[in-house]
Amino acid sequence: MVLHTSSRMPGEPQTSRTCPSIPRPPQFPTSCMRKTQEQSWNREEYIAPIPEAERGDMILAYHAQLNSVDDEVRIKAAKAWSKWEMATSKLFVDPAHIAAAEKDDWAKRHIPTIVVQGRYDVVCPMATAYDLKKVFPELELHIVPDAGHSSREPATLKLLMQATDRMALLDI
């Protein structure tokens, strides 16, 4: 997996230094998604961890649940979110992947992560990558001394290609 610091994992806090996210529709998931994916995911299971009063903004509500100080609350939300994501992000859903999210240790496994960050990136400042490294010490952080935000800068592109080649060899 190759991450740009503009990406944010579910449950990652949005800070003032995090890149702004793309505006989302007021209803999440969208009605179109509900119609096209209703066979592959259980809406009730997705909304169950969220108190009814907080369901107006599911992203914000999941953010709160995934950052709860209560381990049980976090794990319940992580399982529901992961199952929803696995059921809706692929055209052909693998039930085994969805079932794997039920295991308590599934979310705790190491996720190989490489971040390639341009030193002069003004869109997603280097401080964002550093902050992510502090809370996710397993990630491999590469600072490109002569690059900005674009993935097409020569040194950035080279590191992204190397990271992609390494990830292709992983058995995950």
Each domain of the chain, given as residue ranges in start order, spans: 31-105, 110-168
Residue-wise pLDDT for 22-52, tens only, equals: 444 344 444 444 444 445 557 888 899 999 9
Q: What's the pTM value of the predicted model, to 2 decimals? A: 0.50
Binned at pLDDT 50, 70 and 90, residue 134 comes out as very high
What residues does 126 pair with on adjacent strands? none
- Using the predicted structure, report yes or no on whether residue 150 has a pLDDT greater than 70: yes
Residues 6+ apart with CB under 8 A from 111: 1, 138
Mean pLDDT to the nearest integer, 74-100: 85
Q: Which residue has the higher pLDDT, 12 or 87?
A: 87
Instruction: Determine the pLDDT at residue 28.
Output: 45
The two three-digit tokens of residue 127, written as one number: 């401080």
Sign of the alpha-carbon torsion through 26, 27, 31, 36: positive
Confidence of residue 107 (pLDDT cuts 50, 70, 90): low
Residues in the chain: 172
**Residue 5, CB-side half-sphere exposure with 13 Å CA sphere:** 30
Q: What is the pLDDT of residue 8?
A: 41
Higher pLDDT, 88 or 121: 121
Smallest CA-to-CA distance from 80 within 98, 56, 59 is with 98
According to the model, what pLDDT value does residue 18 have? 38
Q: What are phi and psi of 60, to 5 degrees?
A: -65, -40
Q: Using alpha carbons, select from 143, 111, 105, 140 the residue that is nearest to residue 124.
A: 143
Report phi then psi at 144, rounded to 5: -90, 110
